[in-house]
Structure 1
Amino acid sequence: MTAPTLASDPGLAATTLLVLDFEATTPAGARPQPVEVGALAVRHVPGRGPQPTGFRFTSLIRPPAFAPVTAMMTRTTGIRPEDVAGARTVDQVLAELDAAVPDGPLLLVAQHAPVEASLLADHRDHCPRLASTALLDTLLLARALHPGLPSYGLDALITAFDLRRPADRHRALADCTVTAQLLRRLLTDAARSSSYTSLADLVAVAGRPAKGVPGDQHALF
C-alpha cells in the first residue's frame, strides 16, 4: 500500500487556496480601515504544485472620513488620498469579492493572517463566506518548516527564499502574488517531509480560525 503524501492528498487538490491581502490605515483609537484588497486563487495540481486558477481580484477602497490615507501610507504603498476618493466602500467591495469567489472547498491564505481575519470579521455581514472561512498563515507555516530564521516577516522571507520581489511591494495584489510564491515554496518543502501528508496537517500547524463566526474553524479540515 502506497504511503499517503501531501502531493497526492485529495483534500489539498480539491481545495481552492485564496491568497488574500489588505492594505489598511489605522487611525488613532480606532480599528484598521482597508484602503485596498487583493485576492488570487491557486489550486494544487499533483505533480505540478500550486497553480493559478485565473481568478484575480483587486480594488481600491474609500476609507471612512475618520481614517484618511496618511502621508506615511502614501510613502509605503504609493496610494494617495485622491486615488481612493472616488472608490467604493469596503462593504461594497467585499460583497463583490465574496460573491465572485469560486465555489467548492475554500481555504484563505495570508501572511500574518490575523490581520485579514479581523478585517473580514469587521465586515462579516457583507462577506459572510470569506468571514467564516479558516485561514492558512504563511508566517506560521514558514516558522514550522524553517525554525530559527531571524525573521518571518514577508520581506525577510522574500530574501531568505530568493523570491521575486514585486516592484509595487505593499500593494495588495502584488503582495498576494509574492505570498503565492511563498506558499508554493513552503508546500514544496512540506511535501519533502514525512510530517506533512495532508492539508489537515498544514492547518494543524499554521491554521487560523475565522473570526467571523463562533467555533473552531479547524474542524472544517
Structure 2
Amino acid sequence: MTGTRLMRLAEDPAFQETHFIAIDFEGTTPKGTPPEPIEVAALGIEHMPGRGPVVSGFQFQSLIRPPEHAPVTARDTAQTGITAADVAHAPDAATVLHDLDQALPGRPRVLVAHHAPVEAGFIYRHRDHCPRLAYTRLICTRRLARCVWPGLPAYGLDALLAHAGIPQPANRHRAMDDVAVTAALFRHLVTEAARNRTLTTLADLVRAAGVQPRAAAATQLELS
C-alpha cells in the first residue's frame, strides 16, 4: 500500500523475542553408518535494542565419547584435532545431549548452523535424549547467505568468513571455535539483511533460510 512504511527486522516482535542458538557438532566418519558426534558446542544470540544481534550469556560445550562402532579415526583427528584419547572418558551422546537440552533457554528459540541439515541429522538420530532440540527449527547460514549475497562463487563457511571479513578461528573444526564464527556470520548476515530490507520479519528469515526439524517431519508423516 502506498505510504505504508516497511517494518525493519529489529522491529518485529517475534524476532525481538527469539533466542537464537548457534550449534555445531564435530563427528566421526565411520564407513557404512551415519557419523557419531564427538564434540558439540552451542552459543546464544539475542536482539539487543540499539545494538542488534549480540552474543547472549548462553554457552555450552562438551566432548562426546562415540560408540564402539564409530571410533575416532586418524582422518577424524586430522580434521578436528580430537584424538581417541581425548574422548575416551567423555560422557556419551545421550548424556551430553540431554544436558544440552535441559540447559536450553526457555524463551522462543531457533537453532542456527552453517550447514544445518548436517546438525539436524545429529540431533534427529539422538532425538530421544534431546526432545526440545529435536523439535526446534533451524536457520541455515549457508541458505541465508545465498539470500543476502546472491551470486557468490562459493558458500562454504571459509569462503563466507572471508567475504564478511570475519577472521578464521584459531582452531577451525573444533566445535566452539566453529560455532563462534557461525554466530558471527549469522549476526553479520542478519544485520546486512536488515540494512537493505531483504528480510523484515522472523517469518521472512525462516522462509529464506529455515530448515524444518526432522523429528517434526517424521511426526507429520506418522499422522498422515
Question: Which residue does the alignment assign to 1:210?
Answer: 213
RMSD of aligned Cα (Å): 1.5
Question: Which residue does the alignment assign to 2:140?
Answer: 137
Contact preservation (8 Å) 2:29, 2:76 = no
Contact preservation (8 Å) 2:148, 2:198 = no
Question: Which residue does the alignment assign to 1:4?
Answer: 7
Distance (whole Å) between structure 2 residues aligned to residue 175 and residue 188 of structure 1:
20
Matches within 5 A, 1:99-178: 99-178=102-181
Contact preservation (8 Å) 1:18, 1:108 = yes
Same amino acid, percent of matched pairs:
52
Contact preservation (8 Å) 2:23, 2:42 = yes
TM norm structure 2: 0.93
Contact preservation (8 Å) 2:140, 2:210 = yes
Q: Does 1:66 align with 2:64?
A: no
What's the offset of the Cα at 1:213?
2.3
Contact preservation (8 Å) 1:20, 1:38 = yes
Distance (whole Å) between structure 1 residues aligned to residue 33 and residue 17 of structure 2:
39
Distance (whole Å) between structure 1 residues aligned to residue 198 and residue 56 of structure 2:
28
Q: Does 1:31 align with 2:34?
A: yes
- The aligned amino acid for 2:205 is L
What's the offset of the Cα at 1:216?
9.7
Q: Does 1:84 align with 2:87?
A: yes
Q: Does 1:44 align with 2:41?
A: no
Contact preservation (8 Å) 1:209, 1:216 = no
Name segments (4+ residues, structure 1) moved above 6 Å.
none
What's the offset of the Cα at 1:193?
2.4
Distance (whole Å) between structure 1 residues aligned to residue 128 and residue 208 of structure 2:
29
| Between structures 1 and 2, the one with greater helix share | 2
